[in-house]
Amino acid sequence: MRFLSRYKEHPRSPLQDFLDHEAASAILLLGATAMALIAANTALAPHYEAFLHIPVRLGFGPVLIEKPLLLWINDGLMSIFFLLVALEIKRELRFGELSDPRRAMLPVLAAVGGAILPALLFLLLNSGTPYERGWGIPMATDIAFAVGILSLLGDRIPYWVKIFLLSLAVVDDLLAVLVIAVFYTGALNVTALGVVGLCMSVLVILNLRRVHALGPYLLIGFLMWVAMLKSGIHATIAGVLLGLSIPATRVIKLRDALALAEEGVQLFRKSLTEIPPEEQKELREAALNQLEDVIVASESPLHRLEHKLHPYVAFGIMPLFAFANAGISLNPEALQEAWRSSLTWGIVLGLVVGKQVGIFGISALLVRAGVVRLPREGRTLSYLYGASCLAGIGFTMSLFISGLAFGEGELLERSKLGILLASLVSALLGYGILRHAARSKPRPVPEQQSPSATVMN
C-alpha cells in the first residue's frame, strides 16, 4: 500500500496553507514564550501575576461563572483550541491519511510508540513519588513548533516528511485527549454530567437529521461547556465532543453545485454587458450572492468551521496561552531545585529520548520488516529520525497537561522548566538531523518484499 500517495508537490494546496499557518503560529508562540519569561523574571513580575489573576465573571440567569483570567484562558479559550483539534481529527479520519487503514498504519503505530515510551520513562524515575501524576506530560507533541522548525528547511525536506509529522501529530492529539478525559478528572457531578449527556444527544440528533447550520451546534456546545465546568471532567472535553459532532458532509451534490455556479456566472456576465446600467448593480449582487451560497453549500460544516477557527486559534489563542503559562522563575535557587528534581528530568527524558526512540523505533521496525517502504524521494531513515526528534517538542499540550496534573505551585514550575528544556533540545536535535539529511546524498533503505508491503509516497 502507498502511504500519502495522493500528495504531490504543487504550488498551493490547502495542506500547504495549513503548514504556512502553523509555521507562522510557531513564530508567535516563540515570541509569546519569550515575553512571558521576561515578564516573570524582571520588575514586571508583579504586574504579570496580577494580569493572570484578574477576576472575570460571566453570568446569565441563575448561572454565574467567576474565574481568574488564567483559568478563562485554560478552561475557556483552550476549549476552542480542542474544538479545532477535534475537527482536524475527524477530518483526517474521514478524508485524510488516517481514513485508509493501510496509509494510517505508520503514523498511528509510531504515535502510539511515541506516547507509551515517554510515559514509561517518566514513571521509571517518578513512580511512587509526588510527581507520579505528571506521567501524561511527556506524551504530547506541539505541531505548531514542529512544523515551524520544518519550515526553516523549506523545500529541502521531502513533502512526505511533513505529511508524516502532521498525521503523527493528529493521532498524538487524539491520544492526549483520551488521557485528559480519562485520567485528569476530578470528583464527578452526576447532575452536570446528565446535562452534558443531554446536550450531546441533541448534537447527535442534529447530525443525524443533517442540520448543516453551525449556529445550533455552537449554541448547544456552549451549554455543554458550561455543564462540563461543573461536571468534574475538564471543560475542554466539551470542545472535543462538539468538534466530533459537526457534520462532515456537504449540503449539496457537486454536480448540482456546478450547475448553480454556472448559472451564477452567467448572471454575473449578463450584469456586466447585457442590461441597462441602472439594473446592473442589483443583478450583480444577486449573482454574487448565488455564487457565495454555492460555495457555502459545497463545503461541509466541518471544513467551514475549521477554516474559520484556525487563524484565531493559531494567531490568538495559542500565543495567549503560551504567554499565560510559560512564565516561570529562572532565579538560581529555582533552577537548582529543578536540576535536582526527578520531575524535571522525567519530562526531559520522556520528551527527548522517549519520543524519538518510540516513534523512530516503531517506524524503523516497520520499514526494515518490509511492511512500509519509504518513498523514492529522499529514501533515508534520517528523515524519519529527524521528524521523530521534532515530535519531542511538547510545549502547548504538555504545558496544558502539567497544569491539570499539578495545579499551581512549585511542581508546576519544575514541570514547565522541564518542558521548555526538552522542547529546546528536541527542536535543535531535530533541526540538525534534518538539515544534515537534506545535505547528504540519500542512502537507499533495503527493500524487502512482503505481501503486505506499503510504500510511503
Span 131-136, average pLDDT = 94
Q: Return mean pLDDT, the chain.
A: 83
Residue 295 reports pLDDT greater than 80: no
Backbone angles phi and psi of 214, in degrees to 5 = -75, -25
- The reported pLDDT for the residue numbered 1 is 40
DSSP β-bridge partners for residue 110: none
- Quick: pLDDT tens for 176-204: 889 998 888 877 899 999 999 999 999 99
Q: Using CA atoms, how far apart are residues 185 and 314, in angstroms rounded to an integer?
A: 27
Residue 337 reports pLDDT greater than 90: no
- Quick: pLDDT tens for 340-386: 899 999 999 999 999 999 999 999 998 888 787 777 655 578 889 99
- Quick: pLDDT tens for 249-286: 877 776 766 777 777 777 777 777 766 666 677 777 77
C-alpha cell at position 300: 461541509
- The reported pLDDT for the residue numbered 369 is 83
Geometric angle at alpha carbon 37, from 432 and 397, rounded to 5°: 65
Span 110-127, average pLDDT = 95
Domains of the chain, by residue range, sit at: 2-184+234-249+300-456, 254-295
Q: Using CA atoms, how far apart are residues 108 and 168, in angstroms rounded to an integer?
A: 7
- Quick: pLDDT tens for 225-252: 999 988 888 888 999 999 999 998 877 7
Span 83-88, average pLDDT = 90
Residue 417 reports pLDDT greater than 90: yes
Q: 445, 375 in Cβ contact below 8 A?
A: no
Q: Using CA atoms, how far apart are residues 443 and 378, in angstroms rounded to an integer?
A: 8
Residue 323 reports pLDDT greater than 80: yes
Model's pTM, two decimal places? 0.80
Residue 19 reports pLDDT greater than 80: no
- The reported pLDDT for the residue numbered 61 is 66
Sign of the CA dihedral running 189, 191, 195, 197: positive
DSSP β-bridge partners for residue 3: 456
Span 422-446, average pLDDT = 80
Contacts of 369 (CB under 8 A, 6+ apart): 448, 450
Q: Using CA atoms, how far apart are residues 411 and 251, in angstroms rounded to an integer?
A: 50
The CATH class for the domain spanning 2-184+234-249+300-456 reads mainly alpha
3-state secondary structure of 46: helix
Q: Using CA atoms, how far apart are residues 271 and 290, in angstroms rounded to an integer?
A: 13
- The reported pLDDT for the residue numbered 11 is 46
- The reported pLDDT for the residue numbered 2 is 44
**Parallel/antiparallel/unpaired status of strands 55-60 and 63-68:** antiparallel
Confidence band (pLDDT; 50, 70, 90) for 210?
confident
Residue with cell 503559562: 325
Confidence band (pLDDT; 50, 70, 90) for 103?
confident
Residue 117 reports pLDDT greater than 60: yes
Amino acid 36 reads A
Residue 441 reports pLDDT greater than 70: no
- The reported pLDDT for the residue numbered 275 is 67
